[in-house]
Amino acid sequence: DKELFSESVEVGLALITVAVYSYNSGTAKLQISRQTRDLNGELQFGKLGRLIKEEVEAILPLIEKARKYL
């Protein structure tokens, strides 16, 4: 696995990461993941699922940056 791009933005209690990976020297693919903080403040991975407007607005610039690596 080769990471070509990765950038994160914090929105509320969530950290959303936009990344581009190439697996087995194949076609580059966009990955969007979410981490949320637990009661101890530790980040834990969760489903990205649905996004609120603020999250969409926060990651759109990151998606545009990532697009150059696809």
Task: Dump pLDDT digits (tens) for 24-57.
Answer: 989 999 999 999 988 888 999 988 899 999 999 9
Task: Dump pLDDT digits (tens) for 3-30.
Answer: 999 999 999 889 999 999 999 989 999 9
CATH at 52: 3.10.450
* Neighbour-count burial of 20, counting CB atoms closer than 10 A to its CB (0-12 exposed, 13-18 middle, 19+ buried): buried
- For range 58-63, the mean pLDDT: 98
Q: Determine the Cα–Cα distance for residues 16 and 14; give it in Å rounded to an integer.
A: 6
Domain boundaries, position 61: 2-67
Total number of domains in the chain = 1
Whether the pLDDT of residue 67 is over 90: the answer is: yes
Q: Can you give the three-state secondary structure of 14-69, one letter per residue?
A: EEEEEEEEECCCCCEEEEEEEEEECCCCCEEEECCCCCCHHHHHHHHHHHHHHHCC
Whether the pLDDT of residue 59 is over 90: the answer is: yes
